[in-house]
Structure 1
Amino acid sequence: MATAANTPDNLTEYLLSIRDSRSEPLITVPEVLIPADEHAAYEIQDRVARQLGDIRGWKVGAGSPDAVPAAAPLHAETIFPNGAVIPAEMCRHRGAEAEIAYRFRHHPEGDPANTTRETVLNAIESVHPVIELVDTRFAEPGSQHRLAHLADQQSHGVLIVGDAIRNWCLTDSFSETITVRVDHGKSLEKVARNAAGDPIRLLMWLAGHAVQRGMPFGAGTIVTTGSLTGTLFVPHRTHLSAEFGTSGRVSTFLA
């Protein structure tokens, strides 16, 4: 594996060089490569994003109802439909998280600096159950400074998007009963709540944040809003499913 002795000159160069699980990851990020603050981490995300193709989604989350959210753009090549087989080389670590995502018909209208709850709700097309696979371009999840992981697309690996629920006002945006199954056996069942509280708050923040970064939502943009279950690391050749009390079911097979 890569060490500090053969690290690249900057973090952007490194993140672009580590594209799949067959590459050698960095064990330790030298302090000189760690972004100075969130703004610097997002600049690295932007430089990487320009090289990786079409942005079709975002991930956004926060550690508490009062915490400032954090976000990362998601590319078309990492977004898969319900039931998809995920190629083995896509992820090194495969940390499964059950989440709720929102698909937008257009970017929320009005002043991006003052996005309202109403404009966000009016722009949502549908709600989806999703599974995000957490991964990292570094040797281990959570092994580096938080700003290095933020620059690393906020540890995004793959997003599997379940079927649309268009009458989404009937879903529970604050808590869900979720059953996660690994190889068709029950691994987790809980009433799960988003650590950020109301996910619409996250969407309001993200709408302005995305415009500031020159990446407003296009038609069909999918936004996932943080883990409801914690992270469950699974091996290759695993079938995963998550069933939500009001938001449907999503499944995938990890090759």
Structure 2
Amino acid sequence: MPLDIEAAAAALLDARRTGSRLAALPEGARPETEPEAYAVQDAVARVLGPVAGWKVGAPSATAAPARAALHAETIFASEAGTCTLPASLFHVIGAEAEIAYRFGRDLPPEAGPYDRDAVLAAVAAMHPAIEIADTRFATFGAVDAHSQRADQQNHGVLVLGPGLAEWRGLDPVAQPVRLTIDGTVLHDKTGGNSAVDPVRLLVWLANEGARSLGGIKAGQVVTTGSCTGTDFVTAPTRMVAEFPGLGSVALAIG
């Protein structure tokens, strides 16, 4: 029986609009394969509006990456390096310190394939970032992986610190990171991304992941997965992600 993509997208969109939470996607509307999950995710993305960015990640250095399209309503950029958001935006608050890349020019799928150098040549800036993991489902992580992928891969918001244009001397694999929550340092390490090399994720996104939604576009920002895992916290809370040499970003939720 074919997947009811429209019913799956409608359920996720209704949960976003009303703030209600789903026990699961409706019968007949639960993706069972990766392509089906992306078909639902893309259907939701087309309703939400122009793609303003992407999240991409992988569970290991060799695992296939996964992505989600992001939209302007959940991306917050602060040149001052700090942002305050209301707790009412969130169902759960999963704090993640991440490295993000802002692209300065388009990478249209039809002009590829792109190698590592070509993708990096299109990057205009690097940003320290905090992503908050959240869900449209009643319990975080309780539904199957394909349903989570359909639900924007558990994206809540993305907060960007100031961009660094002179970023080429930074090695993301060897980048130190510190995550402090409510004054307590929870993580202080080097690297930490489960994908190990985030640039591999950018190359995959340019060549494959972004293809169905028109490829990577100038101005879009791509966040490349947590360097600190996911720490679930409750509001009010304040978190700071520091990347020495790159910069820092702070988020207060209250």
Residue 108 of structure 1 corresponds to 107
Deviation digits for residues 48-97 of structure 1 (CA, Å, limit 9, x no counterpart)? 11111221100001111111110000000000023121122221101000
Equivalent of 1:27 in 16, 23, 26:
23
Q: CA deviation at 1:29?
A: 4.1
Residue 64 of structure 2 corresponds to 68
Alignment partners' CA distance in 2, 1:234 and 1:246: 27
Residue 6 of structure 1 corresponds to none
Residue 46 of structure 1 corresponds to 42
Are 1:116 and 1:204, in contact at CA under 8 Å, matched by a contact in 2? yes
Matched, 1:57 2:53: yes
Residue 84 of structure 1 corresponds to 83
Alignment partners' CA distance in 2, 1:67 and 1:246: 29
Note the aligned Cα RMSD (angstroms).
2.0
Are 1:193 and 1:228, in contact at CA under 8 Å, matched by a contact in 2? yes
Matched, 1:166 2:161: no
Deviation digits for residues 109-143 of structure 1 (CA, Å, limit 9, x no counterpart)? 78555211111011000111100000000012211
Are 1:175 and 1:194, in contact at CA under 8 Å, matched by a contact in 2? no
Residue 129 of structure 1 corresponds to 128
Larger CA deviation: 115-124 vs 237-246? 237-246
Are 1:170 and 1:246, in contact at CA under 8 Å, matched by a contact in 2? no
Are 1:112 and 1:207, in contact at CA under 8 Å, matched by a contact in 2? no
Alignment partners' CA distance in 1, 2:110 and 2:203: 11
Alignment partners' CA distance in 2, 1:130 and 1:242: 7
2:55 alignment partner AA: K
Q: CA deviation at 1:210?
A: 4.7
Q: CA deviation at 1:34?
A: 1.8
Are 1:108 and 1:119, in contact at CA under 8 Å, matched by a contact in 2? no
2:224 alignment partner AA: T
Matched, 1:12 2:9: yes
Aligned residue runs from structure 1 range 103-252, under 5 A? 103-108=102-107, 112-252=111-251
In structure 2, the gaps of 5 or more residues are 1-5
Alignment partners' CA distance in 2, 1:33 and 1:247: 43
2:84 alignment partner AA: V
Per the normalisation by structure 1, the TM-score is 0.90
SS at match of 1:229: coil
Are 1:112 and 1:208, in contact at CA under 8 Å, matched by a contact in 2? no
Q: CA deviation at 1:164?
A: 0.9
Q: How many residues align?
A: 247
2:182 alignment partner AA: D
Deviation digits for residues 196-250 of structure 1 (CA, Å, limit 9, x no counterpart)? 1221111111012255203222221100001110001111121111111232101
Per the normalisation by structure 2, the TM-score is 0.90
The alignment-based identity, stated in percent, is: 41
Alignment partners' CA distance in 2, 1:66 and 1:187: 27
In structure 1, the gaps of 5 or more residues are 1-8
